[in-house]
Amino acid sequence: MRRTELTKKNAKQKGYAAAGSAAVTALLCLVMSPYILLAGGPVTLWLTYRWIRYRAEWGLRF
């Protein structure tokens, strides 16, 4: 694989992790209680930050 393909693949994996975390947090918040946001919110924000930072470092567009 070329370096750009690996970079895009890693960015896609990080994006899926952030989206999955957001989906699970939202689902649990709706099903259980809003207090789940206290635990899931920061994790989702951190994964999203890592994904955006990775894309910015490698110069990938959205």
- Give residue-wise pLDDT tens across range 15-61: 999 999 999 999 999 999 889 899 999 999 999 999 999 999 999 88
Does a structural domain hold residue 62?
A: no
Does a structural domain hold residue 49?
A: yes
Does a structural domain hold residue 1?
A: no
Does a structural domain hold residue 2?
A: no
- pTM reported for the whole predicted model: 0.88
Tell me 34's DSSP state. Answer: T
| Token reading at 44 | 């989702």
In the chain, count of helices (H) and strands (E)?
A: 2, 0
Count of structural domains, the chain:
1
The Cα 45–Cα 24 span in angstroms is 13
